Amino acid sequence: MAFAMISCFVYKINWGVRRNLDSLAFSWEQRKLGEVLISLQNNTLSRADLSSEEGIAKNIHYGDILVKFGEVIDVKTESLPMIGDETVIAKYKSSFLQNGDVIVADTAEDETVGKCTEIAGLSDEIVISGLHTIPYRPLQKYAPGYLGYYMNSPSYHNQLLPLMQGIKVTLISKTALQNTDILYPKSATEQAAIGRYFRNLDNLITLHQRKHYLILEDIMLNNINKMDLFYDYYAQWITVYKEGAIRKVTMDKYLLTQSWIKQLAPELRVCELSRITYQKLLNDYAKSHERQTTMDFHHQLKGAVLDAVDEGLIERDPTRKAIIKGKKPRHKKIKYLNQFELHKLLSNLDLGQEINWDWFILLVAKTGMRFSEALAITPKDFDFSKQSLSINKTWDYKGEGGFMPTKNQSSIRKIQIDWQLIIQFSTLVKDLPEDEPIFVSGKVYNSTVNDILERHCKKAEIPVISIHGLRHTHASLLLFAGVSIASVAQRLGHSSMTTTQKTYLHIIQELENKDVDLVMRSLSSLN
C-alpha cells in the first residue's frame, strides 16, 4: 500500500512537471519528425531466434521497450538478448545503433504503442533494432536523454492517438510518424537540464520499483515452500513473472502447461523435483505429443524450475541433460497440389458476380497469403494500376474480430498479381467500403472455408487439402518453376529464407537432384 501511494505521488509529480514543460514548448523549435530524424532498418527476429546467453550482437525487441526499458537504456549494463547469426548481422551493418538513436515500438496491445527508448552507454558493442520497432537517428545533435524523454511525454504521445490503427492490437506506421511534431529548446544546455531532471526522477521511481519487486518476490517465497505442490508453484510463478508482461496468446500456452502439470503430476512436490522426476514428467507428456511439442513443454517449464533453484527450493537443476522424446509423428496429409490438380480445383470454383468464399480460395491460391492476411484484405489494398496487393494487417478470426498486426515485419509486403485477377477484383470491389474487409461479414471460422474447399477437392477428384495447403501449393509451384528461394520467401512474408528452406526442404532436395542430373549430362557432353 505504501509503495502504491509513493508511486502514485511520484507519477503525479512527473506528469505535472511534463505538463508544465509542455506549456513552455511554444517558445521552442518545432519541426516534423521526418525533418530531424531518419529511419534505420530493423530486423524481424522472433524471441526463438535470439539467445539469452551468447551471441555477436545485442537485440532490442519491441516487447522489452513496452515492458522493461525506460526512456533511456544503458546498453552496457542492461541485459539484452543476443543474435548469433553472422549473416543477419552483416545484413544490418548499415543500421548498427549509436548513442542518441531512438527506438519506437510500433505495436502494442493498447495505446502504449509508440513508446520509445533512447540508446546510451554504447561503446564497442553491436546493437540492432528488432521485431516491431522503428529505429531513428537524429540528423542534428541533441543533449543525451532529451529525445527519449520528450518522445514519451504526453505532448508528443497525444499526437499519436489519432494515428493508431487496430482494434485488439494497436499499431502505428512509419509513414504516420513522419508528420508528427518534434519540439526542442534551441539551447543544448536547456535540453541537457531537462534530460537530467527526468533522469533523476526516473532513478527515484526505479528505486521504489525495485522495492516493489522485492516485496512481490518475498510474498511468493513466503507463500511457497519446498513441500508445496509443483503445479501450485508454477501457477504463482506465472502470476508473478508472466502476467502483464506477455501477450495473451503466449499466456494461454503457459496456462495450458500448468494444466498438464496438474494432470500428469498432481502429487509432485517442489522438493521432489530431481532429474528423474523431471524426466518422468517429460516422458509422460511425450506419450501423447510429438517431439517438437514436448520440446516446447520443456522450455515452458524450465524458466520456473531454474527460478526455484535460484530461490533455494531445489538444490540442483533437474532440467540439466533432459532427454526430449515424443510419439511417432502421425501420417501427414498431403499439403499441396501439383499444377494439374490446382487447375482442376480452380475450374471447379463458382466465381459469380459477387464476393464469396470461392473467390477467397482463388485469391489465396494465386497469392500464397496466410488465412488471416486474406481475411483482412480491403478494396484499398488493391493497386490496380501497378497490379499489386498490399499485405499490412491480419484479421483476428480466433478472437472477437478486428484488424491486427502481421505475424512479423517481413509479412508487410506487396504481392504482384496477374492481370486476370486484377480485372476480376476491380469489378468485384468497386462498390464496397474501401477500409472494410471484403470477405468478412460476421464471425469467421477457418473450418467453414476448409469445408467448402474440401467439397471442391472431392468434386474435382483431387487430394483434399486445407486453406493453408493452398499457401503450400502456391510456394511449391513457384519453386518448381525455378523462382529463387529468396523471392519465394519475400512473397510468402517469411522472416528469413531459413524458414522457407525448412518448410519446403523436400521440394528443394527434389530440385537439387534434378540439378545434379543436369550437371552430369552437361559434363558428359564435354567429352
Inform me whether the pLDDT recorded for 364 exceeds 90. Answer: yes
**Mean pLDDT over all residues of the chain?**
82
What is the separation, in whole angstroms, between the first and last Cα of the chain? Answer: 89
Window from 138-147, 192-201, 350-359, 488-497 with minimum mean pLDDT: 192-201
Q: What is the per-residue pLDDT across 4-21, written as a single tens digit (0 to 9) for each?
A: 333 343 333 344 444 444
Q: Where are the domains of the chain?
A: 2-207, 224-310, 339-517
The fold of the 339-517 domain, in CATH, is hpI Integrase; Chain A (1.10.443)
Q: What is the per-residue pLDDT across 280-316, written as a single tens digit (0 to 9) for each?
A: 999 999 999 988 889 889 988 998 898 888 888 888 8
What is the distance between the alpha carbons of residues 127 and 83, in angstroms, rounded to a whole number? 9
Rg over CA atoms, the chain:
27
CB 323 within 8 A of CB 279: yes
- Residue 224 pLDDT grade (very low, low, confident, very high; cuts 50, 70, 90): low
The fold of the 224-310 domain, in CATH, is DNA polymerase; domain 1 (1.10.150)
Residue 223 C-alpha cell reads as 507463500
Q: What is the per-residue pLDDT across 386-442, written as a single tens digit (0 to 9) for each?
A: 999 999 899 988 877 888 888 777 788 999 999 999 999 999 999 899 889 999 988
How many residues would you count in the chain? 527
Q: Which amino acid is at 350?
A: D
Inform me whether the pLDDT recorded for 342 exceeds 60. Answer: yes
What is the distance between the alpha carbons of residues 182 and 242, in angstroms, rounded to a whole number? 35
State which H helix or E strand residue 105 sits in.
strand 102-105
Q: What is the per-residue pLDDT across 447-472, written as a single tens digit (0 to 9) for each?
A: 899 999 999 999 999 999 999 999 99
CATH of 2-207, one of 2.60.40.10, 3.90.220.20, 3.40.50.300, 3.30.1600.10: 3.90.220.20
pLDDT, position 36 = 92
pLDDT, position 6 = 34
Mean predicted confidence (pLDDT) in 245-261: 84
What is the distance between the alpha carbons of residues 418 and 421, in angstroms, rounded to a whole number? 6
Mean predicted confidence (pLDDT) in 67-77: 87
pLDDT, position 483 = 86
pLDDT, position 267 = 92
Inform me whether the pLDDT recorded for 210 exceeds 60. Answer: no
Number of CB atoms found within 10 A of residue 320's CB: 8
Inform me whether the pLDDT recorded for 226 exceeds 50. Answer: yes
What is the distance between the alpha carbons of residues 389 and 115, in angstroms, rounded to a whole number? 30
pLDDT, position 526 = 64
What is the 3-state composition of the chain as percent helix, strand, coil, each rounded to the nearest 5?
50, 10, 35
Mean predicted confidence (pLDDT) in 235-253: 80
Mean predicted confidence (pLDDT) in 71-85: 88
For cell 467500403, what's the residue? Answer: 433
Q: Are strands 57-60 and 127-129 parallel, antiparallel or unpaired?
A: parallel
Burial class (CB in 10 A: 0-12, 13-18, 19+), 306: middle
| 355-358 contacts at long range (C-beta below 8 A, 24 or more positions apart) | 355/428, 355/429, 355/432, 355/438, 355/439, 357/439, 357/448, 357/449, 357/452, 358/452, 358/456
Mean predicted confidence (pLDDT) in 342-363: 93
